[in-house]
Amino acid sequence: KAGVTQTPRYLIKTRGQQVTLSCSPISGHRSVSWYQQTPGQGLQFLFEYFSETQRNKGNFPGRFSGRQFSNSRSEMNVSTLELGDSALYLCASSVLGGLGEQYFGPGTRLTVT
């Protein structure tokens, strides 16, 4: 069974631009969660989608948004990029979300200059 895939793997953007990251979950998984990992803040939960609905949300500004499609693929969008948005963005999928285990993708490393 194929794992979680994320595209692109690396991205360089300038301040003020916007970016869209994509995540394809493991086949059959309906929950997709997004995380931001930085050296200073560690791993922080962004949001979780289940059956095209945002079910949980972390403490991030409205510049961070996401969506999930009917095939469970998910996209995350960051508008008006700031230098502090430079991070590894990880996507994780699970069958039902909630208390089940998650499987992570390789991440997208975003650098904002």
Nearest to 50 by CA among 110, 106, 102: 102
Contact between 109 and other proteins per CB under 8 A: yes
CB of 16 to other proteins, least distance (A): 26
Taking the CB of residue 47, how many other CB atoms lie within 10 A of it? 21
The single residue listed with the structure tokens 């089940």 is 100
96 scored as a contact of other proteins (CB under 8 A): no
> 3-state class of 25 per DSSP?
coil
* Out of 1, 2, 28, 42, the residue judged to bind other proteins by CB under 8 A: 42
44 binds other proteins (CB under 8 A): yes
CB of residue 89 vs other proteins: minimum separation in angstroms? 11
43, two tokens? 């791993």
- Residue placing its CB nearer to other proteins in the complex, 15 or 65: 65
For residues 112 and 83, the answer to whether their CB atoms sit within 8 Å is yes
Q: What is the number of residues in the chain?
A: 113
Residues that bind other proteins (CB under 8 A): 33, 35, 42-45, 48, 55-59, 88, 90, 92, 98-107, 109
